[in-house]
């Protein structure tokens, strides 16, 4: 089998590439930006520097790579950026996926496509709707979530209209080493690592610590993606998550307990979302029943691995 991963050099894409190679797949990918996360794999990958906002570029990549499956991961992933300026997120995420699906329709309609949405699509979830299953209403609360709703429904439309083999996923919060700043776990870890090295004062700036989210390690998430692209039902949508919630306070406490220096915690109003909900928990029973997938990496291990990653990054930048 040969896979094409859009955004292969990103947080999730790099782990997916490693997992697929371990399974014996051929792996190609599109890159736009730094190669750092895949530097150790570059000699084993078929890479295409590509701007996916252009359909002709996407069709060229498909004609050259001839993949059996596509994992479409390339996106603008930051909720914070979508809150500051909504349109670039909407334009980027919708246009790129449209070009992927149109490219497949034109070049290789037998290719399987994994469309990656987000648990953010559910948005304003009531407590009596927990855990969140795939039939819960979509009530997006920001432009990033809205862009993912559009990608999700676009995938369904191309399945219904053009009979493309599209699998849709809604992953909840995934964490792990290599995740860029702008997300809660790397934001905490990078601040602690910098304080340990004396690069910044030992002060932690935080937003809402009471919110509870379903955190799943990225290394478990990519296993789910591969199982679904091979075993998932075309046209169907699947949640991906651990089925447990942890508060942001727990994330912080886990890292502070591992810190080598005392850290003062201060609330930063700029880090507070204008609309936030108390708790999200994922119901991934549809995924489990279809593939047998279960998360294997404990929350505590993810927290430790993230902090160790940022310690290495901070040391290298000295």
In tens, the pLDDT along 203-224 reads: 998 888 999 999 999 999 999 9
pLDDT at 276 over 80: no
pLDDT value for 5: 98
Cα–Cα distance for residue pair 314/318, rounded to 1 Å: 7
> Is the pLDDT score of 38 beyond 90?
no
- Given this model, what pLDDT does residue 40 score? 81
User: What token pair was written down for 295?
Assistant: 């998360």
SS3 call for 173? coil
Same domain for 268 and 137: no
Gap between the Cα atoms of 139 and 148, Å rounded: 12
Are 157 and 69 in a shared domain?
yes
Residues 167 and 115 sit within 8 Å (Cβ to Cβ): yes
Token representation of residue 281: 């928990």
Distance (Å) of CA 116 to CA 8, 60, 153, 232, 238 = 14, 22, 11, 14, 10
The CA-atom distances, in angstroms, between 280 and each of 99, 116, 126, 185, 269 are: 32, 19, 9, 17, 22
272 pLDDT higher than 70: no
The reported pLDDT for the residue numbered 317 is 75
Residue 161: what pLDDT?
98
Do residues 174 and 207 make contact, with C-beta atoms less than 8 angstroms apart? no
Position 116 scores a pLDDT of 98
135 and 259, same structural domain? no
Query: Is 53 domain-assigned?
Result: yes
pLDDT in tens, 124-145: 999 999 999 999 999 999 999 9
Q: Where are the alpha helices (DSSP H) in the chain?
A: 11-22, 55-65, 79-84, 86-107, 143-162, 184-196, 218-231, 248-258, 285-291, 299-316
Average pLDDT over residues 78-102: 96
pTM: 0.95
Range of the domain at 129: 2-175+215-240
pLDDT value for 281: 98
pLDDT at 154 exceeding the cut of 80:
yes
What is the domain count for the chain? 2
Residue 37 belongs to some domain of the structure: yes
- Report yes or no on 286 lying in a domain: no
Query: What is the average per-residue pLDDT within 154-170?
Result: 98
CATH of the domain at 140: 3.40.50.720
The β-bridge partners of 5 are 29, 71
Q: How many CA atoms lie within 13 A of 187 on its CB side?
A: 14
Q: Give strand pairing partners of 131.
A: none
Pick from 25, 213, 231, 224: which is nearest to 122 by CA? 213
Same domain, yes or no, for 8 and 85? yes
């Amino acid at each position: 089998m040969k896979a094409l991963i859009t955004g292969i050099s990103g947080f999730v894409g790099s782990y997916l590439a490693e997992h697929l190679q371990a399974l014996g797949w051929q792996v190609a990918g599109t890159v736009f930006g730094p190669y750092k996360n895949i530097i150790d794999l570059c000699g084993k990958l078929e890479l295409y520097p590509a701007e996916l906002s252009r359909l002709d570029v996407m069709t060229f990549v498909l004609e050259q790579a001839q993949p059996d499956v596509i994992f479409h991961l390339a996106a603008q992933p930051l909720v914070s950026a979508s809150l500051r300026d909504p349109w670039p997120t909407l334009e980027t995420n919708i246009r790129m996926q449209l070009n992927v699906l149109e490219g497949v329709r034109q070049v290789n309609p037998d290719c399987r496509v994994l469309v990656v949405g987000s648990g953010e699509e559910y948005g304003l979830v009531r407590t009596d709707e927990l855990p969140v299953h795939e039939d819960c209403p979509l009530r997006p609360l920001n432009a990033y979530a809205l862009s993912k709703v559009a990608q999700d429904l676009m995938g369904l439309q191309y399945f219904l209209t053009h009979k493309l083999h599209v699998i849709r996923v809604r992953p909840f919060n995934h964490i792990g080493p290599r995740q860029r700043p702008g997300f809660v776990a790397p934001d905490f870890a990078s601040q602690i690592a910098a304080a340990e090295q004396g690069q910044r004062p030992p002060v932690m700036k935080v937003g809402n610590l009471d919110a509870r989210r379903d955190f799943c390690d990225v290394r478990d998430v990519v296993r789910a993606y591969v199982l679904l692209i091979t075993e998932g039902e075309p046209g169907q949508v699947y949640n991906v998550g651990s089925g447990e919630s942890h508060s942001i306070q727990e994330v912080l406490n886990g890292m502070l307990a591992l810190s080598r220096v005392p850290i003062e915690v201060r609330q930063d109003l700029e880090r507070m979302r204008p609309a936030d909900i108390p708790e999200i928990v994922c119901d991934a029973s549809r995924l489990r029943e279809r593939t047998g997938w279960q998360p294997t990496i404990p929350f505590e291990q993810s927290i430790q691995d993230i902090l160790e990653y940022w310690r290495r990054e901070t040391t290298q930048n000295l």
